[in-house]
Structure 1
Amino acid sequence: MPPALGALAAGFLACLGLIVAIGAQNAFVLRQGIRREHVAVVVALCTAGDLVLTAAGIAGLGPLVAAHPAALTGVRWFGAAFLAWLAVAAVRRARHPERLDPAAAGPASRRSVVTTCLALTFLNPHVYLDTVVLLGSLAHTRPHPRGFGVGVVLASASWFSALGFGATRLAPLFARPRAWQVLDLVVAAVMATLAVTLVVA
């Protein structure tokens, strides 16, 4: 395999290994996909976030991020508070399943979706450690760091596209409020767990 292609494949696999796990960002993309709300915007923002952060790591900002734990601590607490707020909001929705009828619920505004997506992307300190530090460092173990970065972005775009647009096929299942109630409880559990993890980390 040519070195450039090998670097691309390594970046693709490394990125998938980091983002496929259930997390706040994935739960949000899944929910938006099922609701069929601004899916393309959400997928584009998540992919662009990985692109920017990985590029920063490849450019050499990884050691700078690692050298300023105080900044990561601030992000960690902001992120934990935001995730806790999302968990509470999901529990409140789940407590009133009669209000979760997709036909009756009004669509979320593009601005609110974009704001939430950006917050879930950049208020999680682990994303900086995963992309800027880890993936950025791994890129420089290859003879073609940029090829590694391209692989990362391709994996990110592939995963979020599959998750967001693939979730639309679940829409018939979520035609009933009860299904949304279960999903919101799962989302609440994910958000609350991650919030606690950030605080006690």
Structure 2
Amino acid sequence: MGSLLTGFVVALGLIIAIGAQNAWVLSKSIRGEHPQVIAAVCITIDTSLIILGVYGLSIVQGYVPLLVPVLTWLGIGLLSWLAIGAFRRAWQGSSGLQTNAAGPTASAGGIALQAMMISLLNPHVYLDTVILIGSVGAQQAAPALFVLGAAMASCFWFVSLTSMAGRLSRFLSSPTRWRWFDSVIGCLMLLVAASLLPA
């Protein structure tokens, strides 16, 4: 049980920090763009990378020096593109969040692909799941229970994040609040992109 609890606490502490992925998940979930699909993709990716880190950390570390520069610049480009989109929506304005709109603007497959991109092109995901969580898990007496606890943390966080979107949608029905929300989302993504720039 100690390894299970350690996995849950360590993973939750790293995942819960609001970053580009969480901001994107919240934004899409508020719009009603297949939040269940988003949660399922994020949980699956997190769990897979945690397993990779716990059971294959030494192999992954051998490839990290070659992968990090490419992933970093791809991540910077993606985050900047998403930030520009958020700022454009904030500038143009809207009638506020329409919860009774005709439906999602993208298909479930398209949203799943976007979720994969925002997750896998973010170098922080690899740092948190493969390197940090993986290194702690590899030292546990029961690595399998640690992985289970970490997966439970990921499930808890993303299900909570997507399910609370309903309350936020009522708050963001105001056009002014919605423009502020898009502005904050854009700033968050730019800050994360800036933090990825090489020194």
Indicate yes or no: 2:117 matched with 1:119: yes
Which one of the candidate residues 8, 12, 25 is aligned to 1:16? 12
Which one of the candidate residues 59, 67, 80 is aligned to 1:64? 59
Give the Cα–Cα distance (whole angstroms) in 1 for the partners of residues 39 and 192 of structure 2.
Answer: 21
Give the percent of matched residue pairs that are identical in Structure 1 and Structure 2.
39
Indicate yes or no: 2:10 matched with 1:34: no
Give the Cα–Cα distance (whole angstroms) in 2 for the partners of residues 39 and 150 of structure 1.
Answer: 23
Alignment-derived partner of residue 188 in structure 1 = 186
8 Å CA contact 1:99, 1:105 repeated in 2? no
User: 1:33 offset after TM fit, Å?
Assistant: 2.4
Q: Deviations over 1:148-201 (max 9, x none)?
A: 000000000001111110121122111122221111101100111111111135
SS of 2:59's equivalent? Answer: helix
Alignment-derived partner of residue 89 in structure 2 = 93
Give the Cα–Cα distance (whole angstroms) in 2 for the partners of residues 106 and 154 of structure 1.
Answer: 30
8 Å CA contact 2:53, 2:60 repeated in 1? no
Q: Deviations over 1:27-74 (max 9, x none)?
A: 1111122222201101111110111000111221x2233233121110
Give the Cα–Cα distance (whole angstroms) in 2 for the partners of residues 156 and 101 of structure 1.
Answer: 28
Point out where structure 2 has 5 or more consecutive residues left out of the alignment. Answer: none
Give the Cα–Cα distance (whole angstroms) in 1 for the partners of residues 22 and 94 of structure 2.
Answer: 26
User: 1:128 offset after TM fit, Å?
Assistant: 1.1
Taking the TM superposition and a 5 Å limit, the aligned residue runs for 1:168-187 are 168-187=166-185
SS of 1:175's equivalent? Answer: coil
Give the Cα–Cα distance (whole angstroms) in 2 for the partners of residues 173 and 192 of structure 1.
Answer: 24
Alignment-derived partner of residue 52 in structure 1 = 48
Which one of the candidate residues 105, 108, 116 is aligned to 1:108? 105
Identify which range, 85-94 or 163-172, moves more after superposition. Answer: 163-172
User: 1:111 offset after TM fit, Å?
Assistant: 3.2
User: 1:89 offset after TM fit, Å?
Assistant: 0.5
Give the Cα–Cα distance (whole angstroms) in 2 for the partners of residues 108 and 162 of structure 1.
Answer: 23
User: 1:101 offset after TM fit, Å?
Assistant: 4.7
Query: Which amino acid in the other structure matches residue 196 of structure 2?
Result: L
Give the Cα–Cα distance (whole angstroms) in 1 for the partners of residues 189 and 111 of structure 2.
Answer: 16
Give the Cα–Cα distance (whole angstroms) in 2 for the partners of residues 101 and 174 of structure 1.
Answer: 6
Alignment-derived partner of residue 76 in structure 2 = 80
Query: Which amino acid in the other structure matches residue 135 of structure 1?
Result: I
Query: Could you say if the C-alpha distance between residues 84 and 150 of structure 1 is closer, same or farther in structure 2, counting changes exceeding 3 Å?
Result: same
Alignment-derived partner of residue 138 in structure 1 = 136
Give the Cα–Cα distance (whole angstroms) in 2 for the partners of residues 42 and 125 of structure 1.
Answer: 19
SS of 1:200's equivalent? Answer: coil
SS of 1:21's equivalent? Answer: coil
